[in-house]
Structure 1
Amino acid sequence: MAARTVWMLCALLVLLLNECSSVNGHVVEKREASDEYDFMGDDPSDDDTLNDAYGEGEEGNTENIVIVTKPQVYNVSAGSTVILECNVEPKGNSAVVQWLRNDNIYFLGSMTTLTDHRIKLVHNTSMAISNVTPSDEGEYKCVVTQKKPLTLTHRVVVTSKPNILDLSATNNGRVHEGNRLVLNCDVSGSPPPKIVWSRQRKGSHDNERLLETDGVFSLNSVTIEHVKPEHSGTYYCYAFNGVAADTRDIQITVLYKPRVHVHRQETNTALNVRTELQCSAHGEPAPYLSWYKDNQLINEGVINDDSHTPLSTLVVVPKSDSDFGTYTCVAINSHGRHNSSVELVQRPVVEDVEADGAKVAWKVHSHLPLEAVQIQAFPFGIDESVSQNPSDISVSLPQESGLKLYEMSYEISSLPAGKYEAIVKAKNSKGWSREPKPVILNIVEQSMYIQRSSVFRGAASMVTGSTTLLLTTLTYLLVRKL
């Protein structure tokens, strides 16, 4: 088949050459016959020469084609339709227009090799793209094929709202205390979205933005080294690009061993008096709480007043002195254990000691009658290795008796000016209270009150009396001389 086609083309070429030879021969004969009539008759005119220079013969008057559309940047939202214009003049011409992208020909005149039915030729020379996607972004060229080809370049910028494709965290958001936490927020959109991170800590209602001091930020991720229990909570990824915004959140749980807290380290009570000992614990997962006395398990179980803070209450009614002593609350979870103790005592318990200048205020718990209350004051700032005797100040016992809680205060006036550390102690039949932490007294020197006005009044009285006596004497002498 191919050989036959080649043969036919060769035959056609021979016929054309013969025809040209016949025509040329006829023209030569005609010129020779007419030479004797008009020697200059066949010379071309100036107009003919100009037309031939532009490739135009006597039978046509075709003008050069011009692209009248200017280069543009088309900002198109994803899913919409864009028409890339390429208007030429003169209109109605038979110009062949090509559309290219990355040197790939989309259209050559009306012919195309595209299988994408979203792209069509409109108005003979323009091109339309429907249901635009981000992959359509780029440069498109309109080329007019002629002796001097013309090219028009358009740019298509596809804008699309952010879309968070995935928000992930190390170990699905369950990280052991002290380990590294990495959060990734994969997002699409055009222009490329910016990302902002924030978090709402566990048990809080505040949503706070993550700062440079909170972690290391890199593109669409944030890394927090050495996580702590307070890093638990809800983390948010916000993506925005000026077109729209998107957000997604993820729960982060920091796993750690329990931390136990007793509400009072020392509790005063008496025989046959009902007393409650309380402890709470933090931990992840939530710990299991138990009570021990003298290393013996006496109670186990958890009362959950708060889903985030397990709370255990132990009820004790002492029947003998052996029921007093140290009670220990133990918390256990899969990451470890922790404990804290409370002393159940009959001696007084002094707490909430405060100082204001030379005045001291405090509270005393004692089910048994108080026998003595004392303030011990030590000069502040003296080397502890140096032996020093405190100033013992006895405080009058409260007039009310039979109370379980006494609120007392005392203003010290017996000490010289200076700064002191003061300790408050109380005693009942079971002994002295355990010494609480000292408070600082700041005693200033009291200045003497001088009634200057009385002195002035006395002096004024003396001056007035003297003046009266002098005037009386002078009057008497003047009368005598008269």
Structure 2
Amino acid sequence: MHGILIFAAILGGISAKDGPKFVDSGSNVTVVVGRDTTLTCKVDNLNDYKVAWLRVDTQTILTIGPHVITKNHRVGVARGDAQVWALTLRDVRPADGGDYMCQINTEPMITQTHHLQVVVPPDIVDSGSSGEVMVREGENVSIHCAALGTPPPTITWRREDSGVMKIGAESVNKWSGVWLNLSSVVRDMSGALLCIASNGVPPSVSKRIPLRVLCKPSVAMTQKMIGGYLGQSVTLVCRIEAYPTPGVHWTHINVNRIQNGTKYQAIIKSNGYKHTAALKINDVSRDDIGAYQCHAENVLGSAQDDITLYTLATTTITTTLVTTTKATTVVTERTSSTQPYMELETTPDEYEKIVPNEDTYVVVLSQHQMQNLELSPSL
């Protein structure tokens, strides 16, 4: 009450005549940190009395009448009309929160209390939160997110790709709490988790926490057999899942390990734990047929899968037309078509069905020629 007594002494304890009174009741004002705010005290019948503003918790006199008493340069007095005595605060800080008293120096003094709440948007504390997390597939992991703000923020977790998370026996899309306890993590959860802090004061903030699931390789060819034309190129493709990124190489039945060069070109493209490996074989020949294997290996294990290459060739079926007259004229027409054959699987009999004998002749005669044709007895 030290500030209150000083105020009374300064004003000399003037007696009330017409009875000043507060028009409104005390207020509760909420302001976001860093902004300006105003606490309004509206008085009727003030006459010769004085209005003062005090900080209750420190008993500090801030203003008397139109004058600012405190040395705090952020404090001011605003007058909207004769009844209004407003306390203004610029660039509000968290420490400004609390109770403020509007006093009139009547005998006894009359007072009105206003409460100022300073709210602070959420802020995630990096030093108290998890960074990149690595966990072996099938294991459990706990991830922490710490945030500050007024009121205290709530923490919500979700996956960046909006997928499900396994927590105990539950599979959920989001979770609340400063700790996220994941159970039996699988490779499909590789990616990023979002820790979102909110307290009703915009803006909400989030932290991206990468989750790396360590897993041994799995390999699957996109096809089990593939054909290629002789002299052209063909590409073999295999899909790999593994983390860390595996080493990949190819083998052929006649080659222990294929090396990059003009004949073979091996490439790999990675996206997280998913990888696509391709082997391009140039100038395909019959020596290239057979089984190829795609091998993947990292520190957790290895895997492989195979694909069989067969060749495709272009063959020609020839049809000959023969016309016999007194002056013999022979006209030959040839029709070409593409016929595939599987170098590894086609038997000689099947080959004859696919590629007919080129010595087949077809004789075509006109009606006039048929009448003049002398057939031999053998015909």
Q: Flag whether TM exceeds 0.5 (same fold).
A: yes
- The residue aligned with 1:330 is 295
Residue from 276, 279, 284 that aligns with 1:310: 276
Structure 1: how far apart are the matches of 2:37 and 2:152?
21
Q: Does 1:139 align with 2:99?
A: yes
Summarize the Cα distance change of 1:157–1:172 in structure 2 as closer, same or farther, 3 Å threshold. Answer: same
- The residue aligned with 2:191 is 233
Q: Which amino acid aligns with 2:245?
A: A
- The residue aligned with 1:423 is none
- The residue aligned with 2:72 is 116
Shift of 1:331: 0.8
Q: Which amino acid aligns with 1:156?
A: L
Shift of 1:243: 5.4
- The residue aligned with 1:417 is none
Higher helix share: 1
For the residue of structure 2 that corresponds to 1:131, the secondary structure is coil
Q: Which amino acid aligns with 1:100?
A: R
Structure 2: how far apart are the matches of 1:193 and 1:62?
51
> What per-residue deviation string (whole Å, max 9, x for no partner) do you get for residues 433-481 of structure 1?
xxxxxxxxxxxxxxxxxxxxxxxxxxxxxxxxxxxxxxxxxxxxxxxxx
Counterparts of 1:141-290 in structure 2, within 5 Å, are 141-144=101-104, 147-159=107-119, 166=126, 170-177=130-137, 178-180=139-141, 182=143, 184=145, 186=147, 188=149, 196-201=156-161, 213-214=171-172, 217-239=175-197, 244-248=202-206, 250=208, 251-265=210-224, 277-290=236-249
Aligned residues: 295
> What per-residue deviation string (whole Å, max 9, x for no partner) do you get for residues 184-233 of structure 1?
26353x555555544344xxxxx568797247834345343333222122
Q: Which amino acid aligns with 1:225?
A: S
Summarize the Cα distance change of 1:215–1:166 in structure 2 as closer, same or farther, 3 Å threshold. Answer: farther
Structure 1: how far apart are the matches of 2:130 and 2:36?
42
Q: Which amino acid aligns with 2:276?
A: P
Given that 2:217 and 2:301 are in contact with CA atoms closer than 8 Å, whether structure 1 keeps it comes out as yes
User: Looking at both structures, which has the greater relative contact order when contacts are Cα pairs under 8 Å and sequence separation is at least 6?
Assistant: 2
Q: Which amino acid aligns with 1:139?
A: D
Given that 1:185 and 1:237 are in contact with CA atoms closer than 8 Å, whether structure 2 keeps it comes out as no
Q: Which amino acid aligns with 2:27?
A: Q
Given that 1:216 and 1:224 are in contact with CA atoms closer than 8 Å, whether structure 2 keeps it comes out as no
Shift of 1:256: 2.5
Q: How large is the RMSD of aligned CA atoms in angstroms?
A: 5.0
Residue from 303, 317, 339 that aligns with 2:304: 339
Residue from 77, 80, 88 that aligns with 1:128: 88
Give the TM-score of the pair, scaled to structure 1: 0.47
**Contiguous gaps of at least 5 residues in structure 1:** 1-54, 202-206, 347-364, 373-396, 404-482
> What per-residue deviation string (whole Å, max 9, x for no partner) do you get for residues 3-45 of structure 1?
xxxxxxxxxxxxxxxxxxxxxxxxxxxxxxxxxxxxxxxxxxx
Q: Which amino acid aligns with 1:117?
A: H
- The residue aligned with 1:68 is 23
Give the TM-score of the pair, scaled to structure 2: 0.57
Aligned-pair identity (%): 22
